[in-house]
Amino acid sequence: MPERRTVALVTLGCARNEVDSEELAGRLAADGWELVEDASDADVAVVNTCGFVEAAKKDSVDALLEANDLKDHGRTQAVVAVGCMAERYGKDLAEALPEADGVLGFDDYADISDRLQTILSGGVHASHTPRDRRKLLPLSPVERQQATDVALPGHGDVAPAPEDLPEGIAPESGPRAPLRRRLGTSPVASVKLASGCDRRCSFCAIPSFRGSFISRRPSDVLGETRWLAEQGVKEIMLVSENNTSYGKDLGDIRLLETLLPELAAVDGIERVRVSYLQPAEMRPGLIDVLTSTPKVAPYFDLSFQHSAPGVLRAMRRFGDTERFLELLETIRGKAPQAGVRSNFIVGFPGETEADFAELERFISAARLDAVGVFGYSDEEGTEAVTYDGKLDADVIAERLEHMSRIADELTAQRAEERLGETLEVLVESVDDEDGAVGRAAHQAPETDGQVVFTSSEGLEPGRMVVAKAVGTEGVDLVAEYCEVLGVGSRTPDEEAGR
């Protein structure tokens, strides 16, 4: 009988990392590892790190140190770093953080089981030397699909799937379809639509360690969605660094418009949500599909970042306040209840008081459902590091505090505008402490608000129900449950069998 090997995956950062962790889980389970939730119960704790900004990197280091402490108190024998921070810094991270028994890059994912076994047995796997992953794929997008020797987390690889896969692992359905094992029971799951980014925003280092943009094939996305539906998933969220570019390397920049109705038609899927949209790449056909396709959420996660033209140009981005407001007007003209969220950077090098006022003017007029505001900080390896006109830290902090307060007030007002709306809500949890909680079409998981039901009677996780917004708690809505979707018009009393 083979020796019992246990592993726990601790995931930090964005939804793309969550998908990568479930791919690692699938590979490990297929090779006989037992997955456990608590790192203290695992022989190996694998920390999927985030390397986006300083705060995220600090959280990743803290998680690695916390896992290392378990080696003195529990079963844990080894702590291994994977993910963006591990890929970005490689051997430098290993030298700076000797508490990590291994630092594995994306190229190690295909052999993750062997890597962990080596480390668990006391061996050493040399940490990689970081490299600019944008240079690994061909410059021409249409040639990238043939580059099967490049590791693409969330895309799988060309090796055939093992025979007799354990139950609960997604089988490979094509040359780039990954093994996958769910790491939870949420009725919501992310599906990776693409990897990498071809944009060159001056503040962002992601393309250097995630690589150039490459789409997954529609058949693989559909196959993974069908498998997730079989696992009980009701909502899928399409994730990548830039979903609006999907299909450009497959010969059809409008491929997303074709794929969305097919995903919405998958048996068992109640909602399809698209994240990470670039305002400069929004096109009329995509807006039409997002606002008119049944089961596709009219939800727009638009990466505005700023609205003052001079700041946007310095960021190597496009647009201005008026064009952004026109885009929002077009969206709401087609779907008045559409949800919109965005992130903004304040204190960018050269940002004047007039630029800051222009951003406030836009945010005040945009009626956004959710807003993330971040203070600029130098990110090594980016163009903005070399810019003149850096603002003092106290000025950035003051602007961050001011804009965050404005954003909180405006998003709370936007929630109040939704009072009386009829909502389609996916119930996500029901318990004695918090009652029943779910999300409407305008609310993405983790980043936006939620719906709190006035009563949990007749509600179960995974059900899509009709509810009416009757109150607000900041950005959250308080709602009364009306009926269950998909089973006729059933009232709460009928649902309870009275």
pLDDT of residue 162: 62
Averaged over successive runs of 10 residues, the pLDDT of the chain (498 residues) comes to 79 87 91 90 91 75 80 84 90 88 91 92 88 88 83 70 72 63 93 93 92 93 94 96 95 96 97 96 97 97 97 97 98 97 97 98 97 94 95 97 97 97 95 91 92 93 96 96 66 46
Q: Same CATH fold, 141-156+169-417 and 6-130?
A: no
The CATH code that applies to domain 141-156+169-417 is: 3.80.30.20
What's this model's pTM, rounded to 2 decimal places?
Answer: 0.91
pLDDT of residue 275: 95
CATH code given to domain 421-481: 2.40.50.140
Residue partners of 77: CB distance under 8 A and separation at least 6: 43, 44, 71, 120
Q: Distance (Å, rounded) from C-alpha 464 to C-alpha 442?
A: 14
Is residue 482 marked as binding? no
Both tokens assigned to 81: 């770093």
Task: Determine the residue type at 43.
Answer: D
Q: How far apart are CA 495 and CA 486, in angstroms?
A: 13
User: Which pair of tokens denotes residue 380?
Assistant: 């090594």
Backbone angles phi, psi at 223, to 5 degrees: -60, -40
Domain ranges across the chain: 6-130, 141-156+169-417, 421-481
- The closest of 159, 18, 61 to 445, measured between CA atoms, is 18
Do β-strands 422-431 and 476-484 pair in parallel, antiparallel, or remain unpaired?
unpaired
Task: Scan for tokens 């009416």, then name that residue.
Answer: 468
Report CA-CA distances (Å) from 312 to 128, 187, 195: 35, 38, 24
Residue among 187, 92, 249, 226 at smallest CA distance from 428 = 187
Q: Find residue 55's DSSP bridge partners.
A: none
Q: Is 447 exposed, middle or buried (0-12, 13-18, 19+ CB in 10 A)?
A: middle
- For residue 21, the surrounding DSSP H or E stretch is helix 15-30
Contact between 50 and 92 (Cβ < 8 Å): no
Count the Cβ atoms, other than its own, within 10 Å of residue 128: 18
> Distance (Å, rounded) from C-alpha 83 to C-alpha 13?
9
Is 204 marked within a binding site? yes
Task: Give Cα separations from 94 to 101, 117, 125, 381, 420 (angstroms).
Answer: 8, 18, 11, 19, 54
State the amino acid at position 448 in one-letter form.
Answer: D
Task: Report how far residue 70's alpha carbon sits from residue 8's, in angstroms, rounded to the nearest whole number.
Answer: 12
Which one-letter amino acid corresponds to residue 389? G
What is the signed CA dihedral for 188, 273, 342, 470, rounded to 10 degrees?
-70
In the chain, the amino acid numbered 198 is: D
- d(Cα 319, Cα 213) in Å, to the nearest integer? 22
Residue of 383, 299, 315 whose CA lies nearest to 351 = 315
Looking at domain 6-130, its CATH class is alpha beta
Name the DSSP class of 244: G
Kindly tell me the sign of the dihedral angle through the C-alpha atoms of 476, 482, 487, 493. Answer: positive
